[in-house]
Chain A
Amino acid sequence: KAGVTQTPRYLIKTRGQQVTLSCSPISGHRSVSWYQQTPGQGLQFLFEYFSETQRNKGNFPGRFSGRQFSNSRSEMNVSTLELGDSALYLCASSFTSGSSEQYFGPGTRLTVT
């Protein structure tokens, strides 16, 4: 079956703008988690959505938000972009929330100039 898909794959934005990233999980998976990967901070958990509800949130400012739709697709939004938001954003899907193996998408490479 098809894997996790993320769109767009690459994105260049200017400071102060906002951006929306999309993630389509594996069919049947109801949990979607988002991660930010940077050379300095490594891989950091952003948040998890399960059945359209945010179940857990990492230590990121309120500029980072997300949502999940009834078909389990998820979007992540970053407002008022800063240079430090440049990163690889990975989403991962799993069948359930908690103790379920995650499958990662290819990521969206965001560059903020």
Chain B
Amino acid sequence: ELKVEQNPLFLSMQEGKNYTIYCNYSTTSDRLYWYRQDPGKSLESLFVLLSNGAVKQEGRLMASLDTKARLSTLHITAAVHDLSATYFCALLSGGYQKVTFGTGTKLQVIP
């Protein structure tokens, strides 16, 4: 059974600082997703990573994938308050549309 672990679970950081969220998974996967969720809201897709070495960037967020290490990272550069949210990594596996989510990382950016 695919297991997905994220760390840290909670992250409080000051504006302007850099930090990385880690996503480890237990078995091979077809693709890896990063989502953002604001309180009481649904999931917003941030990135889809398909292959080893894939790197995608959008604004202050950059995601990467190392399939050999079974590790994905979400790097936050010069954080701003608007990035405060919960971030999930998730993996597609099993051939069908079954997605297994990580535990989520709640990010709080302090002005």
Interface residues of A (CB under 8 A from B): 31, 33, 35, 42-45, 48, 50, 55-56, 58, 90, 92, 94, 97-107
Contact = CB atoms under 8 A, between A and B. Distances in A.
17 contacts: A42-B101, A42-B102, A42-B104, A45-B99, A48-B96, A56-B96, A58-B98, A90-B42, A98-B97, A100-B97, A101-B33, A102-B33, A102-B97, A102-B99, A104-B35, A104-B45, A107-B42
A56 B98 contact: yes
Given A43-B88, A99-B30, A101-B48, A106 B41 contact: yes
A97 B99 CA distance: 11
B92 interface: yes
Given A42-B104, A43-B88, A101 B45 contact: yes
Nearest to A103: B45
Instruction: Report whether over half of chain B's contact residues are helix, strand or loop; otherwise say mixed.
Output: strand
Interface centre among A33, A43, A48, A50 (most CB of B within 10 A): A43
Contacts, number: 64
Given A43-B88, A107-B42, A56 B97 contact: yes
B42 A33 contact: no
B101 A43 contact: yes
Interface in B8-60: 30-31, 33, 35, 41-45, 48
A58 B100 CA distance: 10
B2 to A, nearest CB: 10
A55 B97 contact: yes
Contacts of B48: 101
